Amino acid sequence: MRALVVTAVAAEADSVLTGLTPHPDSPGPEPRTLPAGYLITRRDLPGIAFDVLVAGVGPAAAAAGTATALALAQYELVVSAGIGGGFEPAAPVGSLVVADALVAADLGAETPDGFLDVAALGFGHSVHLPPAELAARAAEATGALLAPVLTVSTVTGTAARAAALAARHPLAGAEAMEGFGVAEAAAAHGLPVLEIRAVSNAVGPRDRAAWRIGDALAALTEGFRVLGPVLANWGERHEHR
């Protein structure tokens, strides 16, 4: 099985790669450059190979980078991975969230009666669902919260915005900026998608002094230490169905 893991920035990719490197003394191949300058790095584990891509920040960059990689190689699974904000108290700083839905939370229109998403406007869909069994197994193995992850183009920085998102998506566990874009590209290629986020800050008023990016990146690494065998096992079972 071969999986594409899509991150936004190099620090996230490095954390994923560290988790996927069983023997740090022999880390594996160096990054290679895809068209348009995307960096991608391969790691091989028993039963599964991972290509870890740095695609850029935001849903558009994520979709473009993912689509580029998918056009150049065959994959069976696409994973959006990185850090993000957590909705407290369900997803505290340093915890992991695995998406049971990848939601385009601010793609739509503001109206006098409130926000309408793309689906409500009749212009497509605003949610991608990962394979339910895979998401549940990934959450169980990593100790993550299994909940919707919201994709936003503007990171939440006020209590009012946090409250509005929570009201529209009361079960949401985290927000980030890339998952839905990754999922759109995966869906265009007929591939399943998964999203995992490590929480670096609470969704709410912007307070950089309270961010714990290092803790979140460490949690992402630990998550991928155990995620590899879970994905390999799922891929083997999926292939034989």
Which pLDDT value is given to residue 241? Answer: 54
- Structure confidence by residue, pLDDT tens digits, 58-89: 999 999 999 999 999 999 999 999 999 999 99
Q: What was the pLDDT predicted at 210?
A: 86
Residue 235: per-residue pLDDT: 73
Tokens of 218: 């460490």
* Prediction pTM value: 0.94
Which residues in the chain show pLDDT less than 70?
237-241
pLDDT at 234: 86
What's the confidence (pLDDT) of residue 23? 78
What is the per-residue pLDDT for 239?
63
- β-bridge mates for residue 145, sequence order: 97
